[in-house]
Amino acid sequence: MRVAIIGSGPRGMSVLERLVARLIESESRESVEIYLIDDGYVGTGRVWSTEQSPHLLMNTVAQEISAFSGPWDGTEARPGNGPSFAQWWQLYREDYEQFGGYGPRAYYGEYLLYVLSAVESSLPSHVTLCKRSARVERLEETCRTQLLYFLNSEILEVDRTVLATGHPNNRLQGFEKTLHDYAARTEDVMFMSGDSVADMNLSEIGPQQHVGIIGMGLTFYDLLAELTMGRGGEFITEQDGSMRYESSGCEPRIFVGSRSGVPVPARGFNQKPSDYEYHPAIFTRERAFCMIQKGEVHFDRDVLPLLEAEIGLVYAETKLRHEKGEDQARQLREYVIIHQVDSVEGVSTFAHILGLSHPMTIDLYKLANPFRGCTFPSLDSFNEVLSSLLAADYEEAMRGNVDSPIKAALDVIRNSRSVIRVFVDFGGLHPHSHQNEFLRRFSPVSGFLSAGPPAFRVLQLQALIKAGIVTVIGPSVKFEPVANEHESGIYMSSPSVEDSTVAVKVVIDGRIPTTDITRDRSSLTQSLLEKGIYTPFVNRKRDAVFETGGVSVTASPFHPIRADQTIADRLYVLGIPTEHTRWFMQSGSSRPHKWIDFMIDADAIATDMIQGRGEKHDPNQAEKQHYAATGTL
């Protein structure tokens, strides 16, 4: 059997690790050849390259991350048994305490290479692993195999192929294309499309040059780090805990804006153990399964109220614990479960009975867009208000993700992703709700409120605003090319902030491209579309139709469904290419103490390949086997 894994980032590596673990367990001694292929860095993919700047950090604490599918027993690492990222970091480096538990992405790349080395050293005698740093340009199916055509004209024939190709590089459209085309024909103007910061050529940006950034998410913080610390600047921590920025003189002037005008909030200081698990009282998988069996589901009407009620419960529990003690907080959860509460109002009623001191409201969209409807007389006045908001966010973040009511509550979004998937995956929502209520409205807000940077990034941003390096333009920022033949540049402005217009020479799109296989520039993706192997998943219910842009796949183990509706049962598609068919496929790691969907998916594919008969695999069975093996059931 010959197996190809195209893409060696965390998803591809997880399949390799589980495949080798299963081969070690298997009684068969049939010869197996595994080809691990990446057009970037084999073992890390380009996003986790070990050559990138140490200023680029992960946004998940290291102790919550493992690329091994089993906890470590302290012996030599092998598939199914190896150190978590935090354990590896503390063993092989001496700076674990310097980053607040958030590892540099380059370190995680080194960790992935460590995992790859452990896998290689554990290969049974009948299994070989070939690492190929090459680009697959197209894939063709024969009767029982696949032919992989490389950029260098080589051809590889394999029996099974896993497509784990990662983030796309899309054809531009809309205002991004307008800016790109303007920059292409204007000599001193530059536009950089959304991408990993490690792959952006920031060296072309000169000192004091005016730079505009679209978006204020995680990529924005990466860009700030590279354009300041990466240019020789330094953040100095003052006695009161604030930060001051000492400029190197090599930084550009940075102007930034987004739809909300607010940077993504900081993650709460981690107070939870690595094996922490949240057990919902309202937004449960059982309730979700019951609801989807009853018929048509709309996100805003049916799902969001339950999620906000669960978030409200944790908020109220935390407040009650501070104000009235542990017993009152525990009593609240018991009341909610006994009375089958399913709304914020119900939670609030019981919280007030138990003595909560003020009314409780949970509105995720207001939290994500606090300046909606506000106007400001100047850029200075807006940035003063923003600085106060940043200071409050930092204070809450430092209270911790257990002790801060708001940070503890927003962690529920992260902890509820598997329940949200029950409603959303494979067209579970009504098509209009899926497209507009969920993907356009909720999904960006979900990421904004639950996937922020470590808290010290907020202090750094405050210091940069005070130093005049960074200016936030405001909400609903607009970018327009200068319509004057005697000038060149791109105007940035916010309709909510008077006199906010500034001209910049460089615009960087600080947003990660969304999955849309019809716009993906990848020659491999386009060849799969042309041959009908890939087709976009269409959410269709009666007269409502939504073409999502994600690859249409079966349930686990995720075979692509061809354009003629047949199943390519010797191919597997995992991760980002299937986004919108499934939800939140950007996840890049599993947990040290248990399998989450990330590892369950990888094991399902590995098991199906070994069975070799195209039999469908039950991921729940894999999960049960894992828990039984690790004693956590």
* Spatial separation of the C-alpha atoms in residues 333 and 314, rounded to whole Å: 9
CB 68 within 8 A of CB 17: yes
Residue 153: what pLDDT?
Answer: 93
Q: Which burial class, exposed, middle or buried, applies to 152 when counting CB atoms under 10 A from its CB (0-12, 13-18, 19+)?
A: exposed
* Spatial separation of the C-alpha atoms in residues 503 and 511, rounded to whole Å: 21
Residue 486: what pLDDT?
Answer: 83
Token pair in block for residue 549: 């842009």
Residue 631: what pLDDT?
Answer: 34
- Ranges of residues in the chain with a pLDDT under 70 are 613-633
Residue 619: what pLDDT?
Answer: 44
Residue 622: what pLDDT?
Answer: 41
- Span 518-566, pLDDT tens digits: 999 999 999 999 999 999 999 999 889 999 999 999 999 999 999 999 9
- Residues whose CB is less than 8 angstroms from the CB of residue 545 and which lie 6 or more positions away in sequence, other chains included: 431, 538, 539
CB 390 within 8 A of CB 263: yes
Distances (CA, A) of 628 to 108, 130, 595, 611: 29, 33, 12, 22
* Spatial separation of the C-alpha atoms in residues 387 and 263, rounded to whole Å: 11
Ordered by where they begin, the domains of the chain are 2-168+554-630 (3.50.50.60), 174-264+457-509 (3.50.50.60), 285-450 (no CATH)
Exposure on the CB side of residue 439, measured as CA atoms within 13 A: 26
- Span 400-448, pLDDT tens digits: 999 999 999 999 999 999 999 999 999 999 999 999 999 999 999 999 9
Residue 42: what pLDDT?
Answer: 96
- Span 41-84, pLDDT tens digits: 999 999 999 999 999 999 899 999 999 999 999 999 999 999 99
* Spatial separation of the C-alpha atoms in residues 235 and 221, rounded to whole Å: 14
- Residues whose CB is less than 8 angstroms from the CB of residue 603 and which lie 6 or more positions away in sequence, other chains included: 18, 22, 69, 595, 619, 622, 626
